């Protein structure tokens, strides 16, 4: 604003000087034309009237110029305040004595996270790291009155995050006192580029200082050229501006041509020739080499003098625009870097004027819409994105009208993509940055689906999923924890010690040591079975499976895992182990088959009694190995028939061992079914009854012997005994010796018959006695 005030006063002064010179020159010449036609009095009144008229006209002109300049100053001040409040970059004003904030804009509040009241209660040191504060104090003490490019600094947001910012500051009058206005631009992601840009800005500040000096002095000089005589007449200022030697005795025209850059001479001479021959006004900028060897840029303006014969005299002026050219080069360089910056960012960019016409775009935008720059710049944004289909239009419309930063995310019907947009108000209109977030959006949708699936799986499995922050010692669970442990929600802890307090005392050392072993080796996957107290002193078995996450220094920082309730499974496994141990220890042979009667498993008793190992018989049918010549095929057929009917039955059968020893077994066959009542095969329990079968055969044979002895006792002994009893009765009835002698031989023969039968009985009795002794 100070620059505008100085320039305004200088402009008014120059206007006044130019008008005064022109009026004095031409009005006096006009007045002298009437010198001999008017009396002295009339000439005097005309001369005075000319002066009065000049004073009145110039006074009014100065009044309107000053009022116009004041209006522009007022508008500039209002624009300056709007630029401060709506600037997208954080800005603040602080007291250089106390370093406390006295004012901040909305962008600073958004960027740093402090409220306006919190900002105003702090100093600029509170947003700096502790180690930088002494440098900040020193830098604040070094600030000058001009614009100060303070370079890059580290700032700390309210949440503790550090950012790198570029600071620009200068002294201003605020509420009548000297304060410092600061603008901070977040350049965290562009530190390397910002360092280069900072050096360029420093050079640009120097050139701007030169430009201010140039604006204070017009550096304009006049000259006249007479083509016929090839005479060039310079004013003294020409020598000062061009740095040429005034004492050089050569023709000025030759001197000047010699100092023009060889490559610039044709343009200058051609323009001069066109002016002389065609009357075309000369306007050429060229370079010269001054006596000190420096290069200067000179702008030449010339025309034919109409007041004399055409071609006889040329009136011209030159201006040293070296500093302007250097500034232009720097500006072009800055704009080139700015364009490169726009084209190097990943976001698409376009700028609009107040009429919603596109005035600038970057390469990413052109690639996204598939058009060339010439096809879009200058055209309305609605040609690319019709208003009725443009859901994002209200965002930059609001930024333009309300002069606020607007951010929005929505689906673009025209592009067929999800777009994240940020619109910033600018002096020309509005600048819009946007990026294609379709992939991120799809990832979010997939993540949402994954989270929903995870929640459903979590509810179905009742697994406790946890996330342990090992740095902060913070433990987060899902809702399944309350289904595992009978502990009220308000008593559930969220640190590692709380969880470890639930682990059974006999298991805690194993858990801690196994975790330390895995993390110490830099491994990721860890698992462990242990018991936890689920409430009221009741312990359950759980399976804890975790995944370690490490930082850049290979230190564990997180443990993410899932805890599964395996108490029922563990206890069932233990019962199964006991049952399996009992099955292995029983003397009965056990065979498990599939539905096709193929052997799947046998116990140790089967291996010991038959000589066949599990690997020999597994996958084969028992009839392939266990039958022999005396095996009853009818019984085998009955086995197959009843198995096909899935019946439960029992039967005795003769089988043969590996060494072909016959063995009698009693087989109990029971069908096995799955939980879905699907037939799985048979469980066959076999008892070795060979000894029993042998005893049964001995009993049968002894019974046959006893029946034979009984028959002999009841039949063969009975006959001689009956005969002897009859002979004894005859002997008693005999009256004579002859009768008695006749009976006695018969009686003797009967006694021998009975004795023979008794001997035969006695021959069979030892077998019965031996059987009885074995019983």
Exposure string (b/e) for 633-670, b if CB count within 10 Å is 16 or more?
eeebeebeeebeeeeeeeeebbbbeeeeeebbbbbebe
154 is written with which tokens? 């580290």
Listed in sequence order, the DSSP H helices in 156-278 are 191-216, 236-242, 252-259, 265-278
The DSSP symbol for 490 reads: G
With 90 as the cut, is the pLDDT of residue 204 above it?
Answer: no
Query: What pLDDT, on a 0 to 100 scale, did the predictor assign at position 378?
Result: 86
Bigger pLDDT: 37 vs 472: 472
Separation of alpha carbons 119 and 104, rounded Å? 7
With 60 as the cut, is the pLDDT of residue 76 above it?
Answer: no
- Percentages of the chain per state (helix, strand, coil), in multiples of 5: 50, 25, 25
pLDDT digits (tens, 9 = 90+) for 591-612: 899 998 899 888 888 888 888 9
Bigger pLDDT: 166 vs 753: 166
Identify the band that residue 771 occupies on the pLDDT scale cut at 50, 70 and 90. Answer: very low
pLDDT digits (tens, 9 = 90+) for 467-494: 899 999 998 887 777 778 888 878 888 8
Query: What pLDDT, on a 0 to 100 scale, did the predictor assign at position 388?
Result: 75
Query: What pLDDT, on a 0 to 100 scale, did the predictor assign at position 3?
Result: 43
Separation of alpha carbons 501 and 511, rounded Å? 12
Q: Which of 487, 590, 500 is nearest to 534 (CA)?
A: 487
Alpha carbon separation from 174 to 26, 103, 177, 411 (Å, rounded):
49, 10, 5, 45
Bigger pLDDT: 55 vs 626: 626
Identify the band that residue 743 occupies on the pLDDT scale cut at 50, 70 and 90. Answer: confident
Query: What pLDDT, on a 0 to 100 scale, did the predictor assign at position 73?
Result: 57
Q: How far is CA 330 from the centre of its chain?
A: 41
**Percent of the chain predicted with pLDDT > 70:** 81
pLDDT digits (tens, 9 = 90+) for 95-115: 988 999 999 998 889 989 999
Separation of alpha carbons 241 and 633, rounded Å? 133
What stretch of H or E contains 768?
helix 737-774
pLDDT digits (tens, 9 = 90+) for 530-585: 999 988 888 989 999 999 999 888 899 999 888 888 887 777 766 766 666 666 66
Query: What pLDDT, on a 0 to 100 scale, did the predictor assign at position 5?
Result: 47
Residues 649-667, mean pLDDT to the nearest whole number: 89
Q: Which of 85, 90, 129 is nearest to 109 (CA)?
A: 90
Alpha carbon separation from 302 to 215, 306, 378, 622 (Å, rounded):
22, 12, 36, 123
Task: State whether the Cα torsion 688-691-692-693 is positive or negative.
Answer: positive
722 φ, ψ (degrees, to nearest 5): -65, -40
Query: Worst-scoring range by mean pLDDT, 366-375, 392-401, 715-724, 751-760?
Result: 715-724
**What's the CA angle centered on 582, arms 580 and 586, to 5 degrees?**
120
pLDDT digits (tens, 9 = 90+) for 258-274: 888 888 888 888 888 88
Exposure string (b/e) for 15-42, b if CB count within 10 Å is 16 or more?
eeeeeeeebeeeeeeeeeeeeeeeeeee
pLDDT digits (tens, 9 = 90+) for 214-225: 544 566 777 788
Residues 6+ apart with CB under 8 A from 549: 524, 556, 557, 558, 559, 560
Query: What pLDDT, on a 0 to 100 scale, did the predictor assign at position 525?
Result: 92
pLDDT digits (tens, 9 = 90+) for 57-75: 777 777 777 777 666 655 5
pLDDT digits (tens, 9 = 90+) for 351-405: 888 888 888 888 888 887 888 888 888 888 888 888 777 778 788 888 888 888 8
97 is written with which tokens? 């004595």
Identify the band that residue 212 occupies on the pLDDT scale cut at 50, 70 and 90. Answer: very low
pLDDT digits (tens, 9 = 90+) for 157-180: 999 988 888 888 888 888 878 889
Other Cβ atoms less than 10 A from the Cβ of 387: the count is 12
| Cβ–Cβ under 8 Å, residues 411 and 418 | yes
Q: Which of 310, 314, 267 is nearest to 287 (CA)?
A: 267
Strands (E), 453-580: 464-469, 474-477, 525-535, 538-550, 556-565
Identify the band that residue 211 occupies on the pLDDT scale cut at 50, 70 and 90. Answer: very low
With 70 as the cut, is the pLDDT of residue 335 above it?
Answer: no
Separation of alpha carbons 496 and 550, rounded Å? 18
Separation of alpha carbons 697 and 141, rounded Å? 124
With 90 as the cut, is the pLDDT of residue 759 above it?
Answer: no
617 is written with which tokens? 């018989």
Q: Which of 149, 147, 150 is nearest to 139 (CA)?
A: 150
3-class DSSP assignment, residue 289: strand
With 80 as the cut, is the pLDDT of residue 44 above it?
Answer: no
| Cβ–Cβ under 8 Å, residues 180 and 171 | yes
Query: What pLDDT, on a 0 to 100 scale, did the predictor assign at position 216?
Result: 42
pLDDT digits (tens, 9 = 90+) for 115-145: 989 989 999 999 999 999 998 888 888 887 7
What stretch of H or E contains 438?
helix 438-461
Separation of alpha carbons 214 and 323, rounded Å? 7
Query: What pLDDT, on a 0 to 100 scale, did the predictor assign at position 278?
Result: 84
With 60 as the cut, is the pLDDT of residue 768 above it?
Answer: no
With 90 as the cut, is the pLDDT of residue 528 above it?
Answer: yes
Query: What pLDDT, on a 0 to 100 scale, did the predictor assign at position 2?
Result: 42
Query: What pLDDT, on a 0 to 100 scale, did the predictor assign at position 581?
Result: 64
| Cβ–Cβ under 8 Å, residues 412 and 391 | yes
Bigger pLDDT: 721 vs 135: 135
pLDDT digits (tens, 9 = 90+) for 230-255: 888 777 667 766 767 767 777 778 87
With 90 as the cut, is the pLDDT of residue 767 above it?
Answer: no
Query: What pLDDT, on a 0 to 100 scale, did the predictor assign at position 215?
Result: 42
Average pLDDT, the chain: 79
How many helices (H) and strands (E) would you count in the chain?
Answer: 26, 25
Q: How far is CA 209 from the centre of its chain?
A: 48
pTM for the model: 0.30
Bigger pLDDT: 440 vs 180: 180
Alpha carbon separation from 615 to 618, 619, 657, 683 (Å, rounded):
5, 8, 16, 18
Query: What pLDDT, on a 0 to 100 scale, did the predictor assign at position 638?
Result: 87
Query: What pLDDT, on a 0 to 100 scale, did the predictor assign at position 155?
Result: 92
Rg over alpha carbons for the chain, rounded to the nearest Å, is 60
With 90 as the cut, is the pLDDT of residue 506 above it?
Answer: yes
């Amino acid at each position: 604003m100070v620059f505008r005030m100085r320039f305004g006063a200088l402009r008014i002064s120059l206007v006044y000087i130019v008008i005064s010179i022109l009026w004095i020159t031409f009005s006096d010449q006009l007045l002298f034309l009437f010198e001999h036609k008017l009396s002295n009095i009339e000439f005097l009144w005309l001369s005075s009237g000319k002066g009065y008229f000049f004073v009145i006209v110039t006074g009014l002109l100065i009044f309107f110029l000053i009022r116009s300049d004041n209006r522009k100053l007022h508008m500039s001040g209002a624009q300056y305040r709007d630029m401060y409040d709506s600037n997208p970059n954080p800005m603040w004003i602080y007291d250089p004595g106390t370093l406390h904030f006295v004012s901040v804009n909305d962008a600073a509040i958004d960027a740093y996270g402090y409220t306006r009241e919190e900002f105003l209660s702090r100093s600029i040191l509170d947003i700096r790291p502790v180690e930088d504060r002494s440098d900040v104090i020193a830098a604040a003490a070094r600030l000058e009155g001009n614009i100060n490019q303070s370079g890059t600094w580290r700032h700390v947001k309210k949440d503790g995050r550090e950012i790198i910012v570029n600071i620009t500051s200068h002294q201003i009058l605020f509420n009548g006192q000297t304060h410092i206005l600061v603008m901070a631009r977040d350049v965290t992601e562009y530190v390397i580029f910002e360092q280069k840009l900072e050096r360029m800005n420093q050079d640009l500040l120097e050139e701007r200082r030169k430009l201010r000096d140039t604006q204070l002095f017009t550096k304009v000089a006049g000259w006249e050229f007479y083509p016929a005589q090839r005479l060039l007449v310079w004013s003294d200022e020409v020598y000062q501006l061009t740095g040429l030697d005034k004492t050089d005795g050569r023709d000025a025209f030759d001197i000047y041509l010699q100092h023009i850059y060889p490559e610039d001479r044709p343009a200058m001479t051609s323009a001069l020739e066109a002016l002389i021959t065609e009357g075309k006004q000369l306007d050429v900028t060229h370079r010269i080499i001054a006596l000190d060897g420096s290069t200067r840029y000179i702008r030449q303006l010339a025309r034919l003098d109409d007041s004399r014969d055409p071609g006889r005299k040329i009136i011209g002026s030159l201006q040293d625009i070296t500093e302007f050219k250097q500034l232009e080069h720097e500006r072009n360089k800055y704009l080139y870097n700015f364009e490169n910056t726009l084209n190097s960012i990943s976001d698409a960019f376009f700028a609009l004027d107040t009429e919603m016409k596109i005035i600038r775009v970057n390469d990413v935008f052109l690639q996204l819409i598939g058009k060339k720059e010439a096809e879009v710049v200058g055209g309305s944004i609605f040609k690319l994105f019709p208003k009725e289909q443009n859901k994002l239009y209200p965002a930059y419309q609001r930024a333009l009208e309300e002069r606020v930063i607007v951010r929005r995310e929505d689906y673009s019907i025209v592009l067929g993509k999800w777009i994240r947009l940020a619109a910033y108000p600018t002096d020309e209109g509005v600048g819009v940055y946007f990026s294609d977030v379709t992939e991120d959006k799809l990832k979010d949708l997939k993540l949402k689906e994954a989270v929903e699936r995870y929640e459903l799986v979590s509810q179905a499995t009742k697994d406790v999923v946890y996330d342990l922050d090992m740095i902060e010692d913070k433990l987060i669970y899902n809702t399944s924890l309350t289904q595992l442990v009978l502990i009220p929600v308000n008593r559930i802890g969220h640190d590692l010690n709380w969880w470890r307090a639930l682990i059974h005392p006999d298991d805690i050392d194993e858990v801690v040591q196994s975790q330390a072993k895995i993390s110490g080796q830099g491994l990721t996957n860890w698992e462990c079975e242990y018991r936890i107290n689920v409430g009221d002193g009741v312990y359950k078995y759980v399976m804890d499976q975790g995944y370690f996450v490490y930082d850049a220094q290979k230190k564990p920082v997180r443990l993410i895992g899932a805890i599964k309730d395996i108490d029922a499974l563990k206890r069932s496994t233990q019962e199964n182990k006991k049952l399996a141990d009992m099955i292995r220890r029983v003397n009965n042979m056990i065979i498990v088959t599939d539905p096709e009667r193929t052997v799947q498993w046998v116990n140790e008793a089967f291996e010991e009694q038959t000589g066949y190992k599990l690997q020999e018989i597994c996958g084969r049918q028992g009839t392939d190995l266990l039958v022999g010549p005396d095996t009853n095929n009818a019984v085998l057929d009955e086995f197959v028939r009843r198995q096909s009917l899935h019946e439960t039955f029992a039967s005795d059968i003769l089988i043969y061992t590996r060494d072909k020893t016959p063995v009698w077994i009693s087989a109990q066959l029971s069908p096995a079914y799955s939980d879905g009542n699907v037939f799985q095969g048979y469980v066959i329990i076999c008892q070795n009854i060979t000894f029993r079968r042998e005893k049964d055969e001995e009993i049968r044979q002894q019974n046959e012997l006893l029946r034979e002895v009984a028959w002999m006792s009841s039949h063969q002994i009975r006959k001689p005994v009956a005969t002897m009893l009859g002979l004894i009765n005859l002997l008693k009835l005999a009256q004579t010796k002859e009768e008695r002698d006749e009976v006695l031989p018969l009686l003797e023969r009967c006694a021998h018959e009975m004795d023979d039968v008794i001997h035969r009985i006695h021959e069979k009795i030892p077998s019965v006695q031996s059987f009885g002794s074995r019983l």
